[in-house]
Amino acid sequence: MNTLLQAEGLSYGSGDRMLIDGIDLAFAGGSFTVIIGPNGAGKSTLLRLLSGELHPSRGTVRWNGESLNAIPAWRLAHRRAVMPQASDLTFPFTVLEVASLGTQGIGRGLSRGDRRRLAHEALEQADVAHLAQRNYQTLSGGERQRVHFARVLAQLTAGRTLETQQILFLDEPIASLDLKHQLALLQTARTLARDGLCVIAVLHDLQLSADLADDLVLLERGRLIGRGTPGAVLTPTRLAEVFGVTLNASPLPPSPWRLAVA
Ligand SMILES: Nc1ncnc2c1ncn2[C@@H]1O[C@H](COP(=O)(O)OP(=O)(O)OP(=O)(O)O)[C@@H](O)[C@H]1O
């Protein structure tokens, strides 16, 4: 594996509690990894540590061998985009302005017109171009989520004018989306991974995770319980122990969804 991002002995504590405890993980370009685990397992905390948004209490995160802490914020913004779980904006931005935020200060040799075009294209990719002039604050939860997906897509496209290796971090990106848009967003992420991007997402839907991910990272109480292909990680024993659910035969029975996302 051609490692792009590597976490070693990664730990994060709050008070006397370890929210992330001694995790070693490596991620390569061109891969789609999904972090799974029960509520409170530490998935968002891990994502924030890997993206450089949080600083570890112990351990390191390295980008191509270079400590994440040593990379200037502007360069990091070209290398990785983060779609957080919730993104409330207190300012009455239009949808186009929110998508354009992704390109602000990002990219080399881009004119204002180029940035606007990138934002528009990203809105189209996220199926919210028809809302471009709407006040973001008046949108539904799912529409807002799609606008933020457009924002990170625009950021990555602008960043590619300077950086060829990039990571997209997605924290429960489909939580508010209807089925069609869940599949569309994940399909877009998967296509980006096929084209060389490293995609790291937190998802709760184990079926979709198994269908779409190259590999899964399973967390429980801040610890790494499993890492590998969906078939290797989602064993009946683990599903019972970690999620408290039982399955009779195959860990993940055939689903009609699989046809749609193949
Ligand atoms: N700043 C903080 N201070 C104290 N505890 C925190 C802090 N941030 C998160 N936690 C706790 O750490 C644990 C892990 O939180 P995290 O949000 O990473 O979990 P998660 O796996 O993403 O959960 P969910 O599936 O519910 O979104 C939770 O028990 C949470 O209450």
% of the chain residues with pLDDT over 70: 94
> What DSSP designation does 28 have?
E
Residue 164 has a pLDDT of 93
User: For the sheet containing 80-83, what is the strand order?
Assistant: 80-83, 167-171, 198-202, 32-36, 215-220, 223-228
Among 163, 193, 219, the domain boundary falls at 163
Q: Which residues are 67's β-sheet partners?
A: 62
Cβ of 39 below 6 Å from ligand 1 = yes
CATH number for the domain harbouring residue 19? 3.40.50.300
Identity of the residue numbered 165 = Q
Residue whose CB lies within 8 A of the most ligand 1 atoms, among 17, 43, 51, for a mutation test: 43
Residue pair 211/257 in contact (Cβ under 8 Å)? The answer is yes
Is there a single domain that holds both residue 231 and residue 183?
A: yes
For residue 95, give its domain range. 88-163
Average pLDDT over residues 102-131: 94
Tell me how far the alpha carbon of residue 48 lies from the centroid of ligand 1, in angstroms.
11
Whether residue 255 is predicted with pLDDT greater than 70 in this model: the reply is no
Distances (CA, A) of 86 to 13, 53, 90, 143, 145: 22, 15, 13, 13, 8
Measured torsion, CA atoms of residues 65, 71, 77, 83, in degrees rounded to the nearest 10? 60
Cβ of 14 below 6 Å from ligand 1 = yes
Q: Is the ipTM of this complex over 0.90?
A: yes
What's the domain count of the chain? 2
pLDDT, one tens digit per residue, over 197-248 is 999 999 999 999 999 999 999 999 999 999 999 999 999 899 889 988 876 5
Cβ of 44 below 6 Å from ligand 1 = yes
The set of residues, in sequence order, having a beta carbon less than 8 Å from that of 188 and lying 6+ positions away, is: 125, 126, 149, 153
Is there a single domain that holds both residue 178 and residue 58?
A: yes
Question: Which atom in ligand 1 lies closest to the alpha carbon of residue 42?
Answer: 18
Radius of gyration, alpha carbons of the chain? 18
The set of residues, in sequence order, having a beta carbon less than 8 Å from that of 227 and lying 6+ positions away, is: 25, 215, 216, 217, 218, 233
Atom 4 in ligand 1: residue holding the nearest Cα: 14
pLDDT-derived band at 55 (thresholds 50, 70, 90) equals very high
Is there a single domain that holds both residue 144 and residue 257?
A: no
Is there a single domain that holds both residue 193 and residue 229?
A: yes
Is there a single domain that holds both residue 16 and residue 96?
A: no
Is there a single domain that holds both residue 181 and residue 238?
A: yes
Tell me how far the alpha carbon of residue 20 lies from the centroid of ligand 1, in angstroms.
10
Tell me how far the alpha carbon of residue 221 lies from the centroid of ligand 1, in angstroms.
10
Distances (CA, A) of 10 to 56, 171, 222, 233, 238: 6, 19, 10, 21, 23
Residue 246 has a pLDDT of 77
- Lowest-confidence range among 10-19, 84-93, 101-110? 84-93
H helices of the chain, in order, are 43-51, 73-79, 95-101, 112-125, 141-159, 179-194, 206-212, 230-233, 236-238, 256-261
Residue pair 83/148 in contact (Cβ under 8 Å)? The answer is yes
